[in-house]
Amino acid sequence: MKGILKLAYKLVVNDKSKFTALLAGITFAVFLMMFVTSMFGGVMNHSAATVINIGAPIWVMDPSVENPLNTVGIPDYVLDAVRSMQGVKYAVPLYSGSALLKLSDGAYQPAMIIGLDDTSLYGRPELIQGKIQDIYAEGGFVAVKDADFPKLGNPHIGTEFELNDHRAVVVGIAKVSTSSLFGLPTLYTTYYRCLQYIPNPRYTISYVLIVPQSASDIPRIKEQAKALGYLALTKDEFIGRTVDFYIFHSGFGMNLLIITAVSFIVGLSVSGQTFYTFILENLERFGALKAIGTTNRELVSIILFQAAFTSLTGYGLGVGLCVTLIGIAKLRMPEYAAMVTAFSVIVPFLMVVVITAISSYFGVRRVLAIEPFEIFRG
């Protein structure tokens, strides 16, 4: 069979114009699909930045919350109630909101403010400059060094700014795994400082963060939160809810669907048509092979191998091209949103499998239908 497959390989590769067209079609389709899914993955990752960076296993929130930026205040008694729930190891409040800063040069800059539990500082970022205990100092804030950091005027420890006429000072520089989606710099401080500095509605807790005693306690905690009228989600569920929001309640999902469909149609029409033409051009020769003594099984193997080889090569090129371009973009812009995920690799692969199956199905049908007798008849 190895020799037959080598024959199949040479038949398709030596037809340089068609092979190039096949590869170009598949490569372009894979690139397009992988790029858009990578962009989608990256944006979704950034959209859930707060959830990822804080990293709490369970988040309790108002049931109407659809994503981390859309917070609805929770009354203080919920925190007490959660702390008394069975299976909860400990629970802390989290403030998440935005505020307008007045920088030292007089410019105003909106920023994302995260207020950590004063006692535990649960969810604090990793500091690259300064000491975390300085966050308790008067007006102490930790600035996150991400792509939006320069918008704060590239602050250093000791840099001062104003927040609602309150003096604030940078006491630490931190790094986080994921920067926020909408281009706002991020500052961390304590929960109670947020209440002091930022005008707030009646209920001030954005989320109650829970660490369960064990993973098996999670369902029970969720039930108890539900009985209380609130929603408890695991970290992954909250990220998933955020992704769902952007897919189903923004134009993102439809755009993703359209580009996916376009790339599929381009891939299928270019590659499928070219492959089918390749089969048609060689149809009589396949008939001659049949007359010589090639079995139907061997002919099917030849066609499937040719389709699979071209598709996988195109897939590899498409993935390589996409990864290279995203890599170059990230070198130039470290916070470039695109992110290659398993999803963005698997979806184009599945598309290629479908294109291969459809292309080879029609080719196989034609080749199996040809009668060697027709070859004799010319």
State which of positions 296-335 bind other proteins (CB under 8 A): 296-298
Measured from the CB atom, the residue of 20 and 213 that comes closer to other proteins is: 20
Is position 358 an interface residue for other proteins (rule: CB under 8 A)?
Answer: no
Distance between CA atoms of 117 and 114, rounded to whole angstroms?
A: 10
| Residues that contact other proteins, how many (by CB under 8 A) | 32
And the tokens for 349? 């692969």
Measured from the CB atom, the residue of 3 and 251 that comes closer to other proteins is: 3
Shortest gap between Cβ of 16 and other proteins (angstroms)?
9
Measured from the CB atom, the residue of 251 and 293 that comes closer to other proteins is: 293
Which residues touch 44 (CB under 8 Å, ≥6 apart)?
A: 239, 242, 243, 246
Shortest gap between Cβ of 342 and other proteins (angstroms)?
38
Measured from the CB atom, the residue of 112 and 279 that comes closer to other proteins is: 279
Which residues touch 177 (CB under 8 Å, ≥6 apart)?
A: 52, 53
Shortest gap between Cβ of 322 and other proteins (angstroms)?
31
CA distances (Å), origin 373, targets 285, 288, 298, 364: 12, 9, 19, 18
- Stretch near other proteins under the rule CB under 8 A, chosen from 142-150, 254-262, 295-303, 353-361: 295-303
Q: Which of 38, 67, 179, 294 binds other proteins (CB under 8 A)?
A: 294
- Stretch near other proteins under the rule CB under 8 A, chosen from 76-84, 134-142, 148-156, 285-293: 285-293
Measured from the CB atom, the residue of 335 and 374 that comes closer to other proteins is: 374
Is position 287 an interface residue for other proteins (rule: CB under 8 A)?
Answer: yes
Task: Name the phi and psi angles at 84, rounded to 5.
Answer: -95, 0
Is position 200 an interface residue for other proteins (rule: CB under 8 A)?
Answer: no
State which of positions 4-43 bind other proteins (CB under 8 A): 4, 6-7, 10-11, 14-15
Shortest gap between Cβ of 309 and other proteins (angstroms)?
15
Q: Which of 72, 228, 288, 317 binds other proteins (CB under 8 A)?
A: 288
Measured from the CB atom, the residue of 333 and 368 that comes closer to other proteins is: 368
Binding mask 244-283 for other proteins (x = CB under 8 A): --------------------------------------x-
Is position 369 an interface residue for other proteins (rule: CB under 8 A)?
Answer: no
Distance between CA atoms of 247 and 245, rounded to whole angstroms?
A: 6
Is position 289 an interface residue for other proteins (rule: CB under 8 A)?
Answer: yes
Neighbours of 88 (CB within 10 A): 23
Is position 345 an interface residue for other proteins (rule: CB under 8 A)?
Answer: no
State which of positions 114-133 bind other proteins (CB under 8 A): none
Shortest gap between Cβ of 362 and other proteins (angstroms)?
21
The closest alpha carbon to 142, from 151, 128, 150, 86, belongs to: 128
Shortest gap between Cβ of 374 and other proteins (angstroms)?
10
Shortest gap between Cβ of 29 and other proteins (angstroms)?
25
User: Binding residues for other proteins, per CB under 8 A?
Assistant: 1-4, 6-7, 10-11, 14-15, 282, 284-285, 287-298, 371-373, 375-378
